[in-house]
Amino acid sequence: MNPWPFIIGAYAVTALGTLGLTLWSWAAMRRAEADAAKLGERP
């Protein structure tokens, strides 16, 4: 059995999962910190 489709599939799942998790967490952090900073500026 040719293992390469399984290897490529495994790396694709890992890349999608890791990148998706990192970008989602980063965007959520940026949004939350921007909201907090905006509210802090209000008198």
Residues that bind another protein (CB under 8 A): 1-4, 6-7, 9-11, 13-14, 17-18, 21-22, 25-26, 28-29, 31-33, 35-36, 39-40
Query: CA–CA separation, 12 vs 31, rounded Å?
Result: 28
- Sign of the Cα pseudo-torsion (5, 7, 11, 17, in order): positive
Query: CA–CA separation, 29 vs 4, rounded Å?
Result: 37
Minimum distance, C-beta of residue 20 to another protein, in the bound complex (Å): 8
Minimum distance, C-beta of residue 36 to another protein, in the bound complex (Å): 4
Minimum distance, C-beta of residue 43 to another protein, in the bound complex (Å): 11
